[in-house]
Chains A and B, each alone.
Chain A
Amino acid sequence: MARGAALLRFARVLTADEHRAEDLVQDVLAKVYASWRRISLLEHPDLYVRRMLVNAYTSWWRRAVNRELAVAEPAATSSVEDTASESAERDAIWRLVLQLSPRQRTIIVLRYYEDYDDATIAELMQCRPGTVRTQARRALAKLQHLYPAFESANGER
């Protein structure tokens, strides 16, 4: 039960849309329920369920109609006043994350929110660890470019 809540939080940062997150989680949980006897036999059922959610999210954004949905605009510039507030800073970073491609955002969320290593992320996204590292590097470079305060930060893991 608590895992459902954790899954919804994960979906929120993945989709950046409360309602979409809930729909995705509900779809995934329904599939989990339908196949639980198989999923429960897996070594890491939680990981498998997250993979289902990532797949569902990927399917969603690949559909052309959804690609046309605009995400929130990033802060055009970050003022000194904004950066003085930690909350404003986190909000600004969040809006920058929204500027990443869905694939890059997925990697960033899995790495920084779920704290998975690159091998696990690769397993979840069904790609090679090298692809994860490349995409993560590009995502971090883009964030650094969009947000000058990051310039001095080293995003490599």
Chain B
Amino acid sequence: MPTELDELLTSALQERANLGAPIDPARLMRDAVIDGRRIRTRRRVVAAVLAAAAVSAIAVTGTLAPRPSNSAMPAPGPSRSGFLAADLALLPVAAGRPGAGARPDLVATDPLTVHFSTDSIANNAFIATWTSTAGYESATVQRDDFQVYVAVSRDPEKLPPSDSFVKFFRYALGSPTTVTIGGRPGTAATSVGTTRLPGGSQVSLEGKLWALLWQPVDGLWATVEVQGQPLDRAVRIAESVRFDVAKKCALPFTVGRAPAGTKLRTCTVRLGTQLSGRFEDGQLGFGGGSKTFIFYASDSHGGGVYPRPLKAGPNQVWADPRGGNWTMLLDGVFFDVVGSTPHAFTQQQALDTLATVRMRAHPEDPSTW
């Protein structure tokens, strides 16, 4: 039972916590993302240097051949931001599949297909991400001169999705104005309010982001959010998105068998220039009922160090003793596999699925995936 002292302490601390300036969590997140990107890039550069050193050492001792490099891949060039920019328009064309312009009804029906192309934007970028999931398909491209988010859906209510700049960073938008995008009517709204830069100075968000919304064709809605460019440039960027081609949401690995009772629901692939190859990370999300089973593939693993590796076919797997989480290393790629709850899937179900994971023949060349 709480004592007088307990209650006094609790109320005093709660009162103190709520004193001070009003909290703007969106600004906290925006600032954190800016700093976080720097941290992540720094870590990756260090990891790449360490990995290169390790590979060199291994090659010298002859115990393990380094992964073949793709000589056709152009080396990334330096950019003003310090990130390395390169052509990331590397997702293969989904042959035989129409773009969203011809078949808007196909949008968000196949997690392995993105029914539009951002190639003309991603050709000089340091990060590019594509997602296809229930309700919408999206792409994010980060470049030196701007960052853009694109999403398409058959349902305007699905736009903007939760991974958009506006939703994720909680931008407040001003009143929309009418614009013409590719000859079609649309709206444009800019971010409003202020944010505090590291160091304390306040800056206006007016014009920092433009959010465009239009129908490229009847039955299809598209939103394009552009950070770092004025409205006229944002419109031109939106007009550069092509809806006459479909691309694969392709990953450097395949999963031969879905976990029991599930089917593929989501695919995300992120290409970048910070690692030795172009693959940064990606995920396949399987779902069935309320259960989900996510394959997360990246250059580093997310769990602790677990004892006694298990076997999943030819692959070694480490299981979290608390259940629901497995890690597998295959050809330099870590797979963190996590069920929606510790007991959503049995260990055997997980191992059966992990045993079917195979790397593609050329995991460092996205155009072959």
Contact = CB atoms under 8 A, between A and B. Distances in A.
Interface of A: 1-5, 8-10, 12-13, 16, 18, 21-22, 25-27, 29-35, 37-43, 86-87, 89-91, 93-94, 97, 108-109, 112-113, 115, 140, 143-144, 150, 152-155, 157
Contact of A1 (B5, B9, B170): B170
Contacts, number: 141
B126 to A, nearest CB: 15
A112 B9 contact: yes
Contacts of B19: 12
Contact of B8 (A8, A89, A157): A89
A25 B198 CA distance: 13
Interface residues of B, number: 48
Nearest to A11: B17
Given A37-B302, A97-B9, A108-B9, A26 B31 contact: yes
A91 B16 CA distance: 8
Given A38-B300, A86-B11, A112-B13, 17 more contacts: A1-B25, A1-B26, A1-B29, A5-B23, A5-B25, A12-B16, A13-B13, A30-B39, A32-B32, A33-B35, A38-B336, A40-B302, A94-B13, A94-B15, A112-B9, A113-B17, A150-B5
A90 B12 contact: yes
Interface string B1-25: 0011110111111111111110101
Nearest to A114: B13
B35 A27 contact: yes
Interface string B268-296: 00000000000001000000000000001
A8 B36 contact: no
A13 B28 CA distance: 18
B358 interface: no
Interface in B291-320: 296, 298, 300-303
Contacts of A35: 40
15 contacts: A8-B23, A9-B17, A12-B16, A27-B35, A30-B34, A33-B33, A33-B35, A34-B37, A38-B300, A89-B12, A90-B11, A97-B9, A112-B13, A140-B5, A153-B4
A80 B25 CA distance: 40
B28 A155 contact: no
Main secondary structure, interface of A, reads helix
Interface of B: 3-6, 8-21, 23, 25-26, 28-29, 31-40, 43, 170, 198, 281, 296, 298, 300-303, 322, 325, 336, 338, 342
A112 B6 contact: yes
B272 to A, nearest CB: 14
Contacts of A32: 32, 36
A112 B13 CA distance: 8
Contacts of B23: 4-5, 8-9
B270 to A, nearest CB: 10
A13 B5 CA distance: 17
A12 B38 CA distance: 26
